[in-house]
Amino acid sequence: MQSTFSKPKKIILPTLVVAQFFCTSLWFAGNAIISDLVKQLHFPSSYLAHLTSAVQFGFIIGTLVFAVLSISDRFSPSKIFFSCAVVAALINLCVNIDGITVTQLMSVRFVTGFFLAGIYPVGMKIAADHFQQGLGKSLGFLVGALVLGTAFPHFLKSIHGIPWHYIVFFTSLLSLLGGFAILILVPDGPYRTIGQRLSLSAFIKGFANKKFRAVAFGYFGHMWELYAFWVFVPAILLVYNNQHPNDAFNVPLFSFLIIAVGGIACVIGGVISTKFGVRKVATLSLSLSCICCLTSPLFVVNSSASVFIVFMFIWGMAVIADSPLFSTLVAQNAVAEYKGSSLTIVNCIGFAITIISIQLIDALKTATNVQYIYMLLALGPILGLIALQRSE
């Protein structure tokens, strides 16, 4: 075990964190440039939900394929991460093709999402293979990187005068760099248990365990809220700007800040969990985000600018702080030789749920109910908290 703490070991987590940040910048690359795509392709701005759902659906199909074939358990996770990062980067570049149609754009985002399935959950698998003690803290940094990567295209968009094509180029470049960093600097972990054979039922074996089911359903409730909130942050800011033109916010910049602050919450949650317990901190975070959903009508339209933005920052932190903790609980309660597949299938189901919540909010949202519509996001946290409570 002495080698576990050798000098190369010290670079594993920082490399994973940076690579996850770089590669997941592909996730919302389309969302950040939606206004430019609307002008070029002449489709309604309401396609934001469809564009996001295309990535989510691709991710779902990808995670399902990875889970059923037990890919991250049977093959080197680091090589899988690298391969998917390179392919996703190249596919993302296709957004810049002259004359791309709406159908082609949706297809490109779908395929990008498919290969993100070999990045995000596989990155968590790599972390679990390297860090058994303090896994919650390690995944806190890792999911924090995901949050920052997700928000980063909004930051690029906020830079005045930057052509939208450059955002696509830059996010692809970051993904390539992240993939090569993992290949060169992150070997397979010492706690990796190799799945020796293909088992088409391996990905569902964890659900036979009561504790595994409980934490999985807690994660599903969390996911109902998370991506719907992230997708509609710019829309919430625009509504506030329309209602309060004298207090208008820079929408891309504040979208970045509100989403990115969640990365800090992930790190804080991971650190705190080492003292108070992963499950307790996850339950607290899910409860706080539920409260934010239910109280959102008090802040979304009628509050002062300072109160509104403070509330959005609090919501941005609460909505994601439990994500690495639920992933930790899933990894800890999964069958060891199918840990990668368990993480992947739980991600698959979780992201399927995000499509439902995103499309539901988009379909029901009107000019008259915009103040109250986000209360629907509380449904997920409530059901997640019930599942956690029943398992105790």
CA–CA distance, 242 with 326 (Å, rounded to integer): 37
The two tokens of residue 235 are 């829309």
Q: Nearest Cα to 121, choosing from 142, 136, 149, 152?
A: 142
- Rounded average pLDDT over 165-174: 94
- Burial (CB count <10 Å: 0-12, 13-18, 19+), residue 186: buried
**Quick check: pTM over 0.85?**
no
Contact 138, 12 (CB under 8 A): no
Q: Residue 216 to residues 210, 294, 338: CA-CA distances in angstroms?
A: 10, 23, 15
Residue for token digits 């440039």? 33
At 239, give phi and psi (nearest 5°). Answer: -60, -45
CA–CA distance, 297 with 301 (Å, rounded to integer): 7
pLDDT for 266-321, tens place per residue?
A: 889 888 888 888 889 999 999 999 999 999 999 987 789 999 999 999 999 999 99
Contact 248, 241 (CB under 8 A): yes
The SS3 of residue 184 is helix
Contact 196, 117 (CB under 8 A): no
- Rounded average pLDDT over 136-160: 85
What is the predicted pLDDT for the residue at 206? 65
> Is the pLDDT assigned to residue 198 strictly greater than 60?
no
User: In 167-253, which ranges are E strands?
Assistant: none
Q: When comparing pLDDT for 193 and 332, which is higher?
A: 332
The SS3 of residue 192 is coil
Give the gyration radius of the chain's Cα atoms: 20
CA–CA distance, 225 with 233 (Å, rounded to integer): 12
pLDDT for 58-80, tens place per residue?
A: 999 998 888 777 777 778 899 99
- Rounded average pLDDT over 186-209: 66
